[in-house]
Structure 1
Amino acid sequence: MCNNHQNITTRVLSVPSAKAPFEKTTIERRDIRPDDVFIDIKYCGICHSDIHNAHNDFGRGVFPMVPGHEIAGVVTAVGSEVTKFAVGDRVGVGCFVDSCGECEFYLRGEEQFCKKGVVVVFNSIGYDGNLTYGGYSQKIVVKDKFVVRIPDGLDLDVASPLLCAGITTYSPMKHWNVGPGKKVAIVGMGGLGHLAVQYAHTMGAEVTVLSQTMNKKEEAFGFGADHYYATSDPATFTELAGQFDLILNTVSANIDVDAYLSILNVDGTLVNVGLPNKPDQYNVFSLFAGRRSIAASNVGGIRETQEMLDFSAQDGIAPMIEVIRADQVDEAYERVLRSDVRYRFVTDMSTL
């Protein structure tokens, strides 16, 4: 039941302007509505898109901003109409906290494509007209429909990156039917890539990692890769010509699209899940030669996010993480930008 929390004040890490250092401050969370869940945040992962937004790379930043969309915590109160969650439950919140509740995509469990516009967990204007603040925080209030249950088999710190990095890589694998007999290449062995390798391997595909250098070869094999090639070696693209059914590109930088299209089989697809700052370029002939496709994939809906968490717990899939204190987030951002993390930072929110 809802205890009457009035004026929920919580400590947060806030960035006052684009590229500014983080500051410890406080914000007010909304009072608990009948369908709300009040969560004590234990951990929040750091995602590259947090950095894009905090640096205003896409020009849509509203400041001061509280980033964070890989939230893991414990329920401390629920609204009067909530039946799915109870005080003490281990829960997560990913990228979204609301949608229209009526369009075809909401009804089929794909809230990420909401026709009226999904409400993102931070830097988004909600249907109530208020700006949302994310998970670099100690408390959050979220509609019960946008909360997922974290299975007992997953520790909260490990579960947090799955709420974005996990679902971002799991969803396209399900959509493009990754399984036995499929050859899948993963571009990039970072926060997304090292999870993508685990999902593709567990689903039964033959998995190749394409990374700039050979530095992560042994780790890739440990995560379940069958093959590993350096993309800095031009011979790689000659050797792998026409091989893959699916290439999942997890990097946030621009790639030589034509080179990657050349290693797709007939009817193969290059799926982008990273978000580069500048537009990609490619030659239509690269598609024409093999009825190939270029696609992109958003995160999954709430139903699929729960499925991904259950799948991960059941099969022992987990990100490799480095847990940091709240006062290390600025340094963590710098390290992500120079690819100096194995493989995901998670902030311990008790250190706020």
Structure 2
Amino acid sequence: MIRAYAAHEPGGKLEPFEYDPGSLGDEDVEIQVEYCGICHSDLSMLNNEWGMTRYPFVPGHEVVGTINAVGERVKHLQVGQRVGLGWYSRSCMTCEWCLSGNQNLCPQAEGTIVGRYGGFAEKVRAHQGWVLPLPEKLNPLTAGPLFCGGITVFNPIVQFDVKPTDRVGVIGIGGLGHMALGFLAAWGCEITAFSTSPDKEIEAKNLGANHFVNSRDPQALKALANSLDLILSTVNADLDWDTYISLLRPKGRLHFVGVIPNPLSVQLFPLIGGQKSVSGSPLGSPVTLAQMLNFAGRHHVEPVVEFYPIEQVNEAMERLKANKARYRIVLTFKNS
């Protein structure tokens, strides 16, 4: 039996829960959880905001731990090895997307907390293809958020061939945005942070931003017209997107990794005239995940986290819900 924390109804309290995982699959890995980050997606799934949550629901998809057991066909991972697991726990490995190295786009990809039990538990299982060894230079205490929030903002850097000479804007300095600042600074980009909270200016610059703009100041926004190569939106709010598109240089891109509540509405003429793009992306493939982990370890890119013991998981979830976390929350387990 595996001991976990589960909710039995939408928005319900997480309570001790046990389940029998059955026999371990030939290509699967069982991880003894040491640390597990809390992501806003855990909260969305807890509340069934996306209409796909099954109860009892065990959240947790930013897992760091050591391998407890491996299936018979697992050859590249060993018991005792420290690894991580993110949003995806399995993909078919045979479709055109998996075979081309884009497993995160697999139509059959399985979410770690979608229709199965996640990492708010003493153990969690996943297919070997989505279990990533942690580089030695990476701090295991804070690595968990990299497996969801980190890869979400790192993936566009790779997919769109962002260059060190590019000027990049980041909208929102929160759980995602603060990691974007760290990665882009290490990448060598000139970064402008956009936030509705002027008190975050010093923090944003300490995290890697070169410039800070109060996004409620129309004149400050206007002054940046035609200056940015990429704008990365990490917020879950509706903004004046035409204004941000006007800040892009020709061939610039407004890219979404935060899910806004309403359909996107923009004027097409500026897009066509400037050959600009609007796009979005999910997380990343295992190859991109490994690249991100190595890059983070080499350049000391580390999420800013708060720690809670697993026994205080409900308090931690409430802090996230109240938008008080600076900037990510990681649960710790007694075996860690």
State yes or no: 1:265 paired with 2:256. no
Alignment-derived partner of residue 113 in structure 2: 122
TM-aligned CA deviation for residue 254 of structure 1? 2.0
Alignment-derived partner of residue 3 in structure 2: 11
TM-aligned CA deviation for residue 287 of structure 1? 2.0
Match for 1:51 among 32, 43, 49? 43
Alignment of structure 1 residues 6-45 onto 2, 5 Å: 9-45=1-37
TM-aligned CA deviation for residue 330 of structure 1? 2.8
* TM-score using structure 2 length: 0.96
Q: Deviations over 1:132-168 (max 9, x none)?
A: 1111111012221111001111222211000001110
TM-aligned CA deviation for residue 180 of structure 1? 2.1
Tell me if the contact between 1:255 and 1:280 (Cα under 8 Å) persists in the aligned partners: no
> CA separation in 2, counterparts of 1:246 and 1:305?
21
Tell me if the contact between 1:323 and 1:347 (Cα under 8 Å) persists in the aligned partners: yes
In structure 2, the residue corresponding to 1:331 is in which secondary structure?
A: helix
What are structure 2's unaligned runs of at least 5 residues? none
Q: Deviations over 1:168-204 (max 9, x none)?
A: 0110011122222200001111111111011111111
Query: Letter of the aligned partner of 1:147 in structure 2?
Result: V
In structure 2, the residue corresponding to 1:313 is in which secondary structure?
A: helix
In structure 1, the residue corresponding to 2:24 is in which secondary structure?
A: coil
Alignment-derived partner of residue 276 in structure 2: 292
The farther-off stretch of 20-29 and 242-251 is 20-29
TM-aligned CA deviation for residue 244 of structure 1? 0.7
> CA separation in 2, counterparts of 1:12 and 1:259?
46
Match for 1:185 among 161, 169, 183? 169
> CA separation in 2, counterparts of 1:60 and 1:33?
25
Tell me if the contact between 2:34 and 2:335 (Cα under 8 Å) persists in the aligned partners: no
Alignment of structure 1 residues 158-169 onto 2, 5 Å: 158-169=142-153
TM-aligned CA deviation for residue 217 of structure 1? 1.3
What are structure 1's unaligned runs of at least 5 residues? 1-8, 125-131
Alignment-derived partner of residue 247 in structure 1: 231
Residues matched between the structures, number:
336
TM-aligned CA deviation for residue 339 of structure 1? 2.5
Match for 1:99 among 83, 87, 91? 91
Query: Letter of the aligned partner of 1:159 in structure 2?
Result: A
The farther-off stretch of 184-193 and 77-86 is 77-86
State yes or no: 1:69 paired with 2:61. yes
Query: Letter of the aligned partner of 2:154 in structure 1?
Result: Y
Tell me if the contact between 1:261 and 1:286 (Cα under 8 Å) persists in the aligned partners: yes
TM-aligned CA deviation for residue 25 of structure 1? 1.1
State yes or no: 1:175 paired with 2:166. no
Tell me if the contact between 1:325 and 1:351 (Cα under 8 Å) persists in the aligned partners: no
Q: Deviations over 1:24-77 (max 9, x none)?
A: 111222312222222100111111111111111122222121111111000122
Q: Deviations over 1:211-266 (max 9, x none)?
A: 11211111211121110111011222211111111000011222221121111111
State yes or no: 1:196 paired with 2:177. no
% same residue: 35
Alignment-derived partner of residue 82 in structure 1: 74
In structure 2, the residue corresponding to 1:215 is in which secondary structure?
A: helix
TM-aligned CA deviation for residue 80 of structure 1? 2.1
Could you list the runs of 4 or more consecutive aligned residues of structure 1 that deviate by over 4 angstroms after TM superposition?
none
State yes or no: 1:343 paired with 2:321. no
Alignment-derived partner of residue 296 in structure 2: 312
